[in-house]
Chain A
Amino acid sequence: MQPFDEAAFAGEHKGDDVGFDKATDLWLSGNEAIALGAWEAGVTVASGYPGTPSTEIMGNLARYEGVYAEWAPNEKVGLEVAIGACFAGARALATMKHVGLNVAADPLFTSAYTGVRGGLVILNADDPQMHSSQNEQDNRNYAFAAKLPLLEPSDPAEAKEMMPLAYALSEQLDTPVIIRITTRIAHVKGVVKKGTRCEVPEATIEKMPAKLVMLPGNARVRRVAVEKRMAAARELAETMPENRIEPGTGPRGFITSGVPYNYVKEAFPTAPVLKLGMVWPLPEKMIREFAATVSELIVVEELDPFIETHLKAMGIACHGKDIIPNQGELNTFIVRKAVDPGSIGELFAPIDLPMRPPNMCAGCPHRGLFYGLSRMKNIFISGDIGCYTLGFLPPLSAMDACVCMGASITMAHGMTKALGKSGEGRIVAVLGDSTFMHSGMTGLLNTVYNNSYATVIILDNRTTAMTGHQDNPASGRTILGDPAPALDLEQLCRALGVKRVVVVNPHDVEATRKVLKEEIESPEPSVIISRAPCVLIPEEAKRKKPVYFTNLDNCTGCSLCVQMGCPAISWTPLTPEEAVARGYREKQKGFARIAENQCAGCGQCAAVCKFEAITRREEQ
């Protein structure tokens, strides 16, 4: 099947349109809509690091004429690039997922003091329910903590409309502005109105040291400006159309924002609603007015009681997290059930079925490396964030810790210092190439400087795979696929002071096991670069690969290949009678078989099979 061609559709739509007018409307995901909104708002510089659910914003924005967009090695770099561009008078954008804002928090807090020249927007994507994340922090709290205005759209159309608004606010109030979206905006498609690009301000150099040089004397002055600006933002909040009361009937009124607004509208279509488009600072007068018109006030928000806490601080009585869950995504059902449990009818109960968790792909190079690790006794594997985190799952079960980007190396170092002699030959860090460049390099430097014996394994699959194969500083290509300098990982590791740097091909399972044993047992820091391209990158997908098949007569049922956890290999159990009928020994418990239409030809299983039961098709 061919990839869906959005542009062709927008141009050739032939339907008898009622709800959708091809002259004015587009069918876009929230992330595509935000990219369009940024372009319409006159953004000329954008930088970000891939992270679900934010990734497609930058990928889309890069294709617009008149915008420079890039993949930065991490979110702190990305935000600082955007700050610099805005200091030159450009409208600039930084994009990231929620945990990325932790990495970028340092520039975030102080950019609140400097303010901006051109508009600056931080597009932050939270992931309630942790569809693809290690935590579900609520980043509205950053707006409160850093003293920045925060906008929250409810759907893709509103997300697009909020981009020009955010830039206007940013320049009017002299402040960075955060837009917080969640997974159900980023990856929701809806009808979006086309607009036109506003005039793009010219970039210039202008020196304004009292505003831009944040040393204590200047910062104390800017600290006052921050409070003044937030007071002005509070005033604006009272009148901006994005904060609005939707009148209704009944004693119950709702205050809500973001995606949960939709759930309230569907569950209680006639109830009065105060919809907040700007969630920080809050429009206190408007909230008080609304609260006075209803006999029961309910705040519906995802994750933390952010609005609720501030309402309570204002002395306004309301329901909130006493009835609405503070964990996971909301939906219409959850809101309806929380507010009006009596209205829920009978539902079909779920049926207990085998779970289907995600898995590393057939032909994934990481499998060969993790297989080697899974065979080593008494080692602790400090893991990291990426596809390879799936090495945690059975049958490989080869990951013992995973906290945040880059932490594999630093945690491993900490363990060696805690364990001393007793940990020698037992501590391994595993992380991907993109993660290593994101925030692993400084940890490796520390490992060398402070003399650790941990072994660091860099899984170099030539791409940022988990988020959808974005290029990175080692891939040799820019965000648009143009040639770029490719980081030499071996040289970098040596420059950081690592004397033992070994490159292995993880598909060569035997060689990989030997290297693992040697390096992990070595008393000095060492780096293993496990190098083979991701099977999903286009060059690999196009490459003609061999197919392996199971020579069932030779299979002894040892199950070594099954223990690799490849989705193309499955186990068929046999009773003693069935085993005999198939010509096997009576005690053979079953046999393994390769689904040839799923085989990616990596040959790892053939390498572990001791009975010549796995053979390349053309060698038949």
Chain B
Amino acid sequence: MKQSGNILFSGVGGQGILLASELTAHAQLAAGFDVKKSEVHGMAQRGGSVEAHLRYGEKVYSPLIELGTADILVAFEILEAVRYLPYLHKDSAVVVNTQKILPPSVALGKATYPENILDELKNRQIKVVALDAFAVAESVGEPRTANVAMVGAMSNFLAVDPEVFLQVIDATVKMQFREVNKKAFAAGRAAVYA
């Protein structure tokens, strides 16, 4: 098993990246790692770009991922995947939700949403896994589980037994939502190689 690693979560305020990063942190704790996670609260949560840094290893000091060292980027929106390019290295894996949320300048017609922007990652030989997390979530009957579907897709790149994630969902999610979240996790995990 990889002895340390950095997972960066990015998205738009309100997309549920805090919960996604929280599930991942618990899975890494359960796998026996020291973990630190950094979040942003306050003004940035009002629809702005948001990020969460998760670092695991035998002993973690810094709560922030260094530029060029994110092993996995879990991006909940296309632009928010490309925005974090400087954090990536040539062996990084990017799991990206194909949802587009228009930034204010685009919504106002002052700028355009760049087409095929994920090519900027692919052209640099970065491994990109794109999935429609909403479609995955809808397929299990609860569109609000898109964030957990993203965690499922990301889990393919971790050495943690997927069973550990399911146990974490059992231990953390309210009874009436456990099953649907476990389904979303499994469907997200399967979507990567589908």
Contact = CB atoms under 8 A, between A and B. Distances in A.
Interface of A: 1-2, 4-5, 8-9, 12-20, 27, 29, 52-53, 55-56, 131-132, 155, 184, 187-191, 259, 261-263, 265-266, 331-333, 336, 345, 347-351, 353-361, 387, 390, 393-395, 466-468, 559, 562, 565, 567, 569-573, 590
B104 A15 contact: no
A278 to B, nearest CB: 20
B193 to A, nearest CB: 25
A187 B50 CA distance: 13
Contact of A570 (B29, B42, B107, B171): B107
Given A356-B12, A570-B107, A347 B68 contact: yes
Nearest to B20: A1
Contact of A348 (B88, B105, B173): B88
Interface of B: 12-13, 16, 18-19, 22, 25-26, 29-49, 58, 60-64, 66-68, 79-80, 82-83, 85-86, 88-89, 102-109, 111, 113-114, 117, 120, 124, 144-145, 147-148, 164, 167-168, 170-174, 177, 181
A16 to B, nearest CB: 7
24 contacts: A4-B18, A4-B19, A4-B22, A13-B26, A14-B167, A17-B30, A18-B33, A20-B30, A20-B32, A27-B35, A131-B40, A184-B38, A187-B41, A189-B25, A262-B61, A265-B61, A331-B62, A348-B86, A348-B124, A351-B85, A353-B79, A356-B83, A466-B42, A590-B109
A562 B109 contact: yes
B108 A5 contact: no
A155 B86 contact: no
Given A1-B148, A262-B61, A356-B79, A347 B86 contact: yes
Given A131-B43, A333-B66, A15 B29 contact: yes
A14 B171 contact: yes
Nearest to A595: B102
A351 B82 contact: yes
A191 B29 contact: yes
B30 A350 contact: no
A53 B38 CA distance: 12
Nearest to B45: A358
A53 B46 contact: no
Contact of B42 (A191, A361, A467): A467
Contacts of B173: 2, 4-5
B41 to A, nearest CB: 5
B104 A17 contact: no
Nearest to B111: A354
Contacts of B147: 1
A285 to B, nearest CB: 27
A572 B68 CA distance: 37
B58 to A, nearest CB: 8
Contacts of B89: 348
A191 B79 CA distance: 33
A1 B19 contact: yes
B43 A466 contact: yes
Residue among A1, A9, A358 with most chain B CB within 10 A: A1
